[in-house]
Amino acid sequence: MGFHDELDDVLRPANRVLDGDLVDLERMSPTRRERLYEEIRESEERFEAELIREYRQKLDDVTTSEVRSQLVTARLFLHVASHRDDRGQVLDPNAFEKDERQAVVEFDRYRAFDVSSTEDLRRRIREKDDEVYEFVVEEVTSQTEDRSSVLDGRDNRIRTAVMDYLNDRYQERIDRSEEAVSLYIQHHGLPNVIEGIQDAVEATAEGAERRREIEEAVRTQLDDLSERIHASLRDQERAIRGDIAGIQGEMAAIEGASDAEIDAAKLESKLDEIADGVEAVREERRADVAALDEAIDDLSAERETLDDALEELTEAGREATRRAADEAAEDVAEDAEEIVSQELQRLRDRREELDGELSRLSRERARLEAAGERLEEEHELLSERVDRVSTSLPEESEADGDTGDNGVVPARIARLYEVDFISRFDESVSEARSITLPSGEEFEPPSAFERRAHEAGDERERMASLLDDRGAGDDVDVDHYPLRRRSRYTVVTSSRFGLVRDAELVIEATVHSNLEAYAINGFDARPAGLDDLLDVINRVTERANARGVPHLIAAASTTGWTDRVRRLVTESEFSRTRLGFDVSLCLVDVRTGELLYDRSDDVVHANRELFERAVHVERVDACERHVREEYVEDPMSDTVRLSTVASELDAPEHVVASAFDRIEDAGDGTRGYHDEHGPYLVANGG
């Protein structure tokens, strides 16, 4: 991604705001306004932290000032819209002054002078006919005086960046009105040419009207749908998962103590409450899936409408150009062409946004279905487990190996898995001699690549909030828990002379952890499922589409992945239908070092060493040998605690946990978990 592309990317969310008006922003749902506000804030941070540093030679003072003005003014517009809309809270209530809000309101009154309204302005001028001069003087003067009264007052409290932006836009509108007068005067002297131009401008107006109608219809439908799905349904899912995790914690305590008292009635009552919640989510999910299907159909139809408008407008522009063949009409044709081309670009942008919405809705539909199925399965298996304990039956292993608490991973071990995986991935990138790009070319990382191209993140704030909700004391350190850490590198290449820089590939390692379970119980035993994987994929796909840069993602889970997920990711059909063209996926088992991916994906296969080295294979090998020799093969010993082996070898606990996993997978032992003593291994036949 070159300089101009990156700059466009930074300004994109602000332009979405500034290209509309306050009425449009007021009609937006509060949720979408807030999301757009945060996108602009992130763009401001990215501009200050990355672009200014990376392109300091290209970003002169004027351009830098203009970008800052656009970004802060876009936030101001959203802030004002939230002030005027009583459906939600005011965005960033202390961020702007009253004078700044008033300036935006006054500025918005004069959008009639925007290029998209040129045809309307021409019509108004034409109707005045001989009084055209007086009309324009009246309109332009009123706007100029208003600008002076709002922006030039000595006592106003408007920041310079906002004043600069509004002043520039006021002048642009005055210039455009003067261009419209010039176009009208030329109209009378060029009757043959103007007919084609009028057709083009009329087509532009019709195209703009169609675009606005589509935007309004789609915005209303999607905002409503998005709020219900992303807020209500996800909150319900998390609440149910929290309840399930709570019962799993009770079950672990009961199963780990032979003399524990079992309150079967209480457990059954809790299960009934969860069943009611699952049923409510099931019904709501059905309605939302139906609504998503309807929205997808509607969007597809709207996209066809945009295609028609694009075709008609393109033809109108060609016709206007043909009729302006003689030199005398050249200036007029250029004016008309500018009007047409700008609306064409708006239509293309809207079509691209619709394509993105279609893709996002389809991905969310798949996640909803997977999440619902998973909740139902977990409730059913938990019910069976409670029945077994209530009747004192021995616990049986699950047929598909996807559930059960034998593979309990305490929070401290999950944290070690995360830190170890991410740090080893970072080490692999720093030592890599080459990285294979989607084009097949080899990129040789320059010195300090790992520092300049690196971004890191986690969900520390969310984990801290979950612990607070559980009443954790001040002595509980969030750093002792998994935080869904991630590490990302952006590969940027230069042209031969270093004039153009493009982002070619983003490589990311991320670790999924069930934060709710760790906050509630201090452990988790639930392998990550398809719904968890789709959460990761949807986030990455949305970013890849927004930036237009291919992404290579290595996704790990502190509790492993279900058998279903392990099968799916190796299938070409999954890569084709769920990932899209710009996303490559490698699933990582941090306990065994196994990599799972579609072998036909050349990007993953060529770069797999970046993820192979990110697992502690050598240390696990040594630990497995020790456990086998000292305990599994010793007839006098049948049980060993994980903490004991860790102490004997001076090894990290997550390394010992991986060795236990291997031994169990080989059928030579069975993992267990004791509420007081933690994970242990029982030798089969010992």
Nearest-angstrom CA–CA distance, 2 and 22: 33
Nearest CA among 256, 346, 158, 93 for reference residue 680: 256
Please tell me what DSSP assigns to residue 260: -
- Asked if 393 contacts 386 with a C-beta cutoff of 8 angstroms, the reply is no
pLDDT in the model for residue 185: 41
Tell me the mean pLDDT in the region 300-314. 63
What is the three-class DSSP state of 588? strand
The pLDDT of residue 596 is 92
In the predicted model, what is the mean pLDDT of residues 284-289?
Answer: 63
Give the pLDDT band (50/70/90) at residue 585. Answer: very high
Q: What is the mean pLDDT of residues 301-330?
A: 57
* Bigger pLDDT: 367 vs 206: 367
pLDDT of residue 488: 93
pLDDT band at 389 (very low <50, low <70, confident <90, very high): very low
What band does 316 get if pLDDT is binned at 50, 70 and 90?
Answer: low
- CB atoms inside a 10 Å sphere around CB 200: 26
Which of 113, 78, 101, 111 has its CA nearest to residue 150?
A: 101
Most confident of 71-80, 190-199, 235-244, 267-276: 71-80
Give the per-residue pLDDT at 404.
Answer: 42
Q: What is the pLDDT of residue 196?
A: 40
Give the lowest-confidence range in 65-74, 305-314, 561-570: 305-314
The residue that leads in pLDDT, 356 or 632, is 632
Choose the most confident range, by mean pLDDT, from 54-68, 375-389, 527-541: 527-541
User: What is residue 131's predicted lDDT score, i.e. its pLDDT?
Assistant: 40
Which of these, 54, 36, 484, 1, lies nearest to 223 by C-alpha position? 36
Residue 666's pLDDT is: 87
Extended beta strands in 446-500, E state? 454-457, 486-494
Give the per-residue pLDDT at 512.
92
- Cα 426 to Cα 606: distance, rounded to the nearest angstrom: 18
**pLDDT score, position 550:** 92
CA 371 – CA 377 distance, rounded (Å): 10
Q: Residue 367 pLDDT > 50, yes or no?
A: yes
pLDDT of residue 397: 38
The predicted-structure confidence for 521-545, as pLDDT tens digits, reads as follows 888 888 888 888 888 888 888 888 7
Burial 434-464 (b: 16+ CB within 10 A, else e): ebbbbeeeebebeeebbeebeeeebbeeebb
d(CA 384, CA 381): 5
DSSP bridge partners of 505: 491
Please name the residue that has the structure tokens 């139809």.
301
Average pLDDT on 185-201 reads: 40
The DSSP line for 299-332 is HHHHHHHHHHHHHHHHHHHHHHHHHT-SGGGHHH
For the residues of 517-546, what is the DSSP string, one character each? Answer: HHHHHSEE---B-HHHHHHHHHHHHHHHHH
pTM of the full predicted structure? 0.53
CA end-to-end span of the chain: 60
Least confident of 19-33, 69-83, 259-273, 411-425: 259-273
CA distance linking residue 255 with residue 675, whole number of Å: 9
In this structure, are residues 199 and 312 in contact, taking their beta carbons and an 8 Å threshold? no
Give the tens place of pLDDT for each residue, 613-660: 656 677 888 999 999 998 988 878 888 999 999 999 988 888 888 889
pLDDT at 626: 93
Residue 198: the pLDDT is 43
pLDDT at residue 242 above 80? no
Residue 308 confidence (pLDDT) above 90: no
pLDDT at 281 over 80: no
* Max mean pLDDT range (36-40, 181-185, 211-215): 36-40
Q: Tell me the C-alpha distance between 400 and 387, whole Å.
A: 19
Q: In this model, does residue 396 exceed pLDDT 50?
A: no
Distance (Å, whole) CA 181 – CA 585: 57
Structural domains of the chain ordered from first start: 3-217+302-310 (no CATH), 218-299+311-396 (no CATH), 407-615 (no CATH), 618-683 (1.10.10.10)
pLDDT (0 to 100) of residue 363: 66
| Greater pLDDT, 89 or 287 | 89
Looking at residues 498-523, what average pLDDT do you find? 82
Residue 254 banded pLDDT, cuts 50, 70, 90: low
Find how far residue 113's CA is from the centre of its chain: 36
Q: What is the mean pLDDT of residues 113-117?
A: 46
- How far apart, in whole angstroms, are the C-alpha atoms of residue 66 and residue 453? 26
Residue-wise pLDDT for 465-497, tens only, equals: 889 888 777 778 898 899 999 999 999 876 443
| Neighbour tally for 142: CB within 10 Å | 12
Q: Which pairs with CB-CB distance under 8 Å and at least 24 residues apart come from 275-283?
A: 275/379, 277/236, 277/239, 277/240, 277/243, 278/240, 278/375, 278/376, 278/379, 280/236, 281/233, 281/236, 281/237, 281/240, 281/372, 281/375, 282/372, 282/376
Residue 547: pLDDT band by 50, 70, 90 thresholds?
confident
**Between 236 and 553, the higher pLDDT residue:** 553
pLDDT for residue 614: 56
User: Does 611 have pLDDT greater than 70?
Assistant: yes
Between the CA atoms of 279, 280, 283 and 284, what dihedral angle is there, to the nearest 10 degrees?
A: -150
pLDDT surpasses 90 at 277: no
Pick the closest to residue 581 from 412, 359, 368, 387 (CA basis). 359
Residue 549 has pLDDT above 80, yes or no: yes
232 or 618, higher pLDDT: 618
Pairing of strands 501-512, 551-557: parallel
Cα–Cα distances (Å) from 678 to 201, 252, 653, 656, in that order, read 75, 10, 11, 13
Per-residue pLDDT for 250 more than 80? no
- Given pLDDT bands bounded at 50, 70 and 90, which one contains residue 662? confident
pLDDT surpassing 90 at residue 606: yes
**What pLDDT, on a 0 to 100 scale, did the predictor assign at position 342?**
59
pLDDT, mean over the chain? 72
216 pLDDT tier (thresholds 50, 70, 90):
low
% of the chain with per-residue pLDDT over 90: 12
The percent of residues above 70 in pLDDT, for the chain, comes to 54
